[in-house]
């Protein structure tokens, strides 16, 4: 087995543990704050990031997410987003009242 150039090692078998990394480039580029530990996008209980109007759920915020927990978090975020949008509509409507 060759690990590096000019570096060979006699081995019968090798196991390499992958280091999973979420594709969170979009969220980082928007300026979402990072939770120092474990180094993923920081969110509140409803998935709200530090950037106004941006939510996140699933593997980008939870390293141990599974399909069912990612879907559950996404559902909770969807409810929060709906409430946020409704509140904006209500604010606009009440501001327009004479
Ligand atoms: C090898 C492996 C095996 C697994 N086995 C299981 C299992 O048996 N059971 C289980 O419950 N979980 C399993 N999981 C975990 C599970 O796959 C994840 O927890 C789950 O898919 C997380 O869902 P998500 O929506 O957060 O991310 P994803 O399912 O990764 O979805 C994110 C989506 O966003 C898209 N995306 C990213 N950036 C952008 C962008 N800028 N614009 C548009 N789209 C974008 C990606 O293409 C992707 O389609 C496994 C994971 C791996 C890696």
Query: How many residues appear in the chain?
Result: 98
User: What confidence tens digit (pLDDT) does each residue in 48-73 have?
Assistant: 999 999 999 999 999 888 999 999 99
Q: What is the pLDDT of residue 2?
A: 66
pLDDT band at 20; cut points 50, 70, 90? confident
**Residue ranges around ligand 1 (CB below 6 Å):** 23, 26, 58-59, 65-68, 70
**Domains of the chain, first to last:** 21-96 (3.50.50.60)
Q: What is the pLDDT of residue 1?
A: 65
Q: Average pLDDT, stretch 12-30?
A: 90
Query: Which residue out of 17, 19, 23 has the highest number of ligand 1 atoms within 8 Å of its CB and is therefore the one to mutate?
Result: 23
Q: Which atom of ligand 1 is nearest to the CA of 66?
A: 19
């Amino acid at each position: 087995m060759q690990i590096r150039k000019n570096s060979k090692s006699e081995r019968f078998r090798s196991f390499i543990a992958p280091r999973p990394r979420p594709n969170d480039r979009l969220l980082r580029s928007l300026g979402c704050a990072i939770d120092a530990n474990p180094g993923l996008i920081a969110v509140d209980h409803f998935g709200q990031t530090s950037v106004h109007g941006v939510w996140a759920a699933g593997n980008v915020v939870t390293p141990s997410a599974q399909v069912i927990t990612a879907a559950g978090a996404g559902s909770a975020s969807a409810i929060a987003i709906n409430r946020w949008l409704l509140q904006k509509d209500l604010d606009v409507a009440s501001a327009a009242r004479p």
